Amino acid sequence: MENIEPQIIETGNGPDAGLPAPSVFEVCGNLPEPFDRIEISPYRGETYYEIPPVRQSHYEWKTATAFLLNGIAGGSQILATALDLLGGESDRGLIRAGRYTAFLGGTSSALMLISSLHNPRRWYNMLRIFKKTSPMSIGIWAITPFTALSSMTVAGQVIEDLGYENAGRWIGRAFSLPAAVLGGFVISYMGTELEETNMPFWAGSYPLMAPLYSAFGLSNSAAAILAASEFTEVSQKTRRNLNRLALISGGAELALATLSQSRWKNSPEAAGFEFSPYSTLFRFAYIGLGLSAPLLMRLYSEVAEDSPAGAISGFFAKLLGGWAMQLSLVYGGRESGKQARDYFEFATPRKLNGREVEKPEKRQSDGTNSMLFGLGVLAMGAGIFYLSSRGKEVRGNESSNCQE
């Protein structure tokens, strides 16, 4: 067998020239030849002995786009149902717009999620069982009936548009109520699904993802219906209420996004995201374009008599910023899965006063926090419209008393 002369690591021209790197002695100690002269590449935190610590997420732009459409669809169904229950005859145009938006967004999202699977037939097999500890199982059992109920709601809307108002409204309302409840579940479920993965950036974001996605879905759907109000007859009071709802939900979304950004800066498991271009995309395209700019437009609309350009441009700013948010979170999570250091920072115990403190076990989702956040969003939307309608009724009574 041919003897191979080992390569000696050159460390400079000083007294250590020709000797192995100090890190070899620190790690291995004194080893017999030729192992004491093995060249070791520097560790950059990307892999563990050239092996990724966890399997990288397969989520890509299709999943990010589906998350965006899911949020708009679920929120639109909530707002359309609230308008149907609490609104007046002048709001029928917005109800129609909300129902069609929920149907198109939910159907497109479901098709994109199916196409993003390695095996598209997997979605059918997932319907054979229900596992409350599996976020994927919860998601498929939430999105599938939501899409079906939204389709039946649109069928009732089509019947109403054809002239059969009583039958169409009865059918639409019967299916829109359970669809709205599932819509509140859907808009927050996506954040829970990311939190319950083994990608360190996503898992380390608990429990902020679910409320962030809830506020995201409601504010984007409010912006969409507010833009649709410029193309149909609607009372000025309803338009103002929608603007205030978009302002409140957008403010909550901005607060949660800022809080998440601050937390990621101080979280070792989010280092892969913070030092990637996706952090810049999140900060400028989402927080700047998708949140701050539309909020300024909403504030201007509160003091201006009428601002149709602000409603339409605000919706497109929200749409582009929302897509940037989904892309940055999805690809940022994939990036953190490549970093061994990020994963070990999240998975290993930390020390407190020199003593190791074990981390809590990985949380498994049973859908509870998603349901609570979703129902909370639904209650907030319905409450705003209820209070606004009561205020309108009180002012109408006062005006009639004054006339008398």
- Domains in the chain: how many in total? 2
Cis peptide bond upstream of 349, omega within 30: no
Give the pLDDT of residue 271: 80
* In a domain? residue 50: no
Give the pLDDT of residue 395: 46
Give the whole-number percent of the chain exceeding pLDDT 70: 72
Helix (H) or strand (E) holding 355: strand 355-357
Give the whole-number percent of the chain exceeding pLDDT 90: 35
Q: Which residues pair with 356 in a beta bridge?
A: 351
Assess whether 7 and 95 both reside in one domain.
no
Which domain, by its residues, includes 169? 61-350+364-386
* In a domain? residue 212: yes
Give the pLDDT of residue 14: 42
* In a domain? residue 398: no
- For residue 277, which phi and psi values (nearest 5 degrees)? -65, -15
d(CA 146, CA 176): 10
Assess whether 225 and 282 both reside in one domain.
yes
Extract the tokens encoding 14.
């000083």
Assess whether 22 and 106 both reside in one domain.
no
Query: Do the beta carbons of residue 359 and residue 349 sit within 8 Å?
Result: yes
How much is the average pLDDT of 210-228? 92
Give the pLDDT of residue 176: 94
Assess whether 200 and 97 both reside in one domain.
yes
Q: What is the DSSP string of 8-40?
A: PPP--SSTTTTSPPHHHHHHH-S--TTGGG---
Assess whether 34 and 73 both reside in one domain.
no
pLDDT digits (tens, 9 = 90+) for 248-274: 999 999 999 999 988 888 887 888 788
* In a domain? residue 343: yes
Give the pLDDT of residue 199: 87
> What is the residue-averaged pLDDT of the chain?
77
Q: Which residue has 């939190």 as its token pair?
A: 195
Assess whether 123 and 25 both reside in one domain.
no
pLDDT digits (tens, 9 = 90+) for 311-344: 888 899 999 999 999 999 999 988 888 777 777 7
Give ∠ CA 134-140-141 in degrees, rounded to 5: 90
Cis peptide bond upstream of 52, omega within 30: no
Assess whether 203 and 312 both reside in one domain.
yes
**By three-state DSSP, how is residue 270 classified?**
helix
d(CA 70, CA 182): 11
Assess whether 12 and 80 both reside in one domain.
no
Assess whether 32 and 71 both reside in one domain.
no
For the domain that residue 167 is a member of, what is the CATH number? 1.20.1630.10
Amino acid occupying residue 55: R
Lowest pLDDT segment from 43-52, 107-116, 299-308, 375-384: 375-384
Assess whether 10 and 156 both reside in one domain.
no
* In a domain? residue 237: yes
Give the pLDDT of residue 367: 46
Give the pLDDT of residue 133: 77
pLDDT digits (tens, 9 = 90+) for 147-167: 999 999 999 999 999 989 999
* In a domain? residue 22: yes
DSSP 366: -
Lowest pLDDT segment from 167-176, 236-245, 301-310: 301-310
* In a domain? residue 51: no
- For 67, residues 6+ apart whose C-beta sits below 8 A from its C-beta are 109, 190, 213, 326, 330
Assess whether 6 and 151 both reside in one domain.
no
* In a domain? residue 179: yes
CA distances, 326 to each of 66, 131, 205, 255 (Å): 9, 26, 15, 17
Assess whether 156 and 301 both reside in one domain.
yes
